[in-house]
């Protein structure tokens, strides 16, 4: 059974940092592109970042470029999102998702909540 389990969400002050993790199982992690999507409370879905199966290619939304870094450790079947200089508007449920290719999303995790507030 495919599973994506996110962790690392927390309450953090504006300007702070956080690292999210997403562990995959039930599929060949190293063969899939991985993506982060966020959903602010009561709102829609916003794409954040994607990385290729090897991690060699990455894309970021303009709203997070320069502040967030996506990476992966295929030996640990784990995807990461390093979030720096956090802002109140980064408050959201962060989902990780997998896809057969870089622009694809076919399965989502349950999400981890990031709250940025003083």
Partner 1 sequence: DVVMTQSPLSLPVTLGQPASISCRSSQSLVHSDGNTYLNWFQQRPGQSPRRLIYKVSNRDSGVPDRFSGSGSGTDFTLRISRVEAEDVGVYYCMQGTHWPLTFGGGTKVEIK
Q: Which residues bind partner 1 (CB under 8 A)?
A: 35, 44-47, 50, 59, 61-62, 95, 103-111
Radius of gyration from C-alpha coordinates of the chain? 13
To the nearest whole angstrom, how small is the minimum distance from the Cβ of residue 75 to partner 1? 26
Q: Give the nearer residue to partner 1 in terms of CB position, either 50 or 78.
A: 50
Taking the C-alpha atoms of residue 49 and residue 36, their distance in angstroms, rounded to an integer, is 5
Distances (CA, A) of 71 to 5, 43, 118: 16, 26, 28
To the nearest whole angstrom, how small is the minimum distance from the Cβ of residue 45 to partner 1? 4
Q: Give the nearer residue to partner 1 in terms of CB position, either 61 or 77.
A: 61
Q: Give the nearer residue to partner 1 in terms of CB position, either 27 or 47.
A: 47
Task: Please state, as a whole number, how many other Cβ atoms lie within 10 Å of the Cβ of residue 4.
Answer: 23
To the nearest whole angstrom, how small is the minimum distance from the Cβ of residue 3 to partner 1? 12
Taking the C-alpha atoms of residue 88 and residue 46, their distance in angstroms, rounded to an integer, is 15
């Amino acid at each position: 059974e495919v599973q994506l389990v996110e962790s690392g969400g927390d309450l953090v002050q504006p300007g702070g940092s956080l690292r999210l993790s997403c562990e995959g199982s039930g599929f060949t992690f190293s063969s899939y592109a991985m993506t982060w999507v966020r959903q602010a409370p009561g709102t829609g879905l916003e794409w954040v970042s994607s990385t290729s199966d090897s991690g060699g290619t990455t894309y970021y939304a303009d709203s997070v470029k320069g502040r967030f870094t996506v990476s992966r450790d295929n030996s640990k079947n784990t995807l990461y999102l390093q979030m720096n200089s956090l802002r109140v508007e980064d408050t959201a449920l962060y989902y990780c998702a997998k896809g057969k290719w870089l622009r694809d999303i076919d399965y989502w995790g349950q999400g981890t909540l990031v709250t940025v507030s003083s």
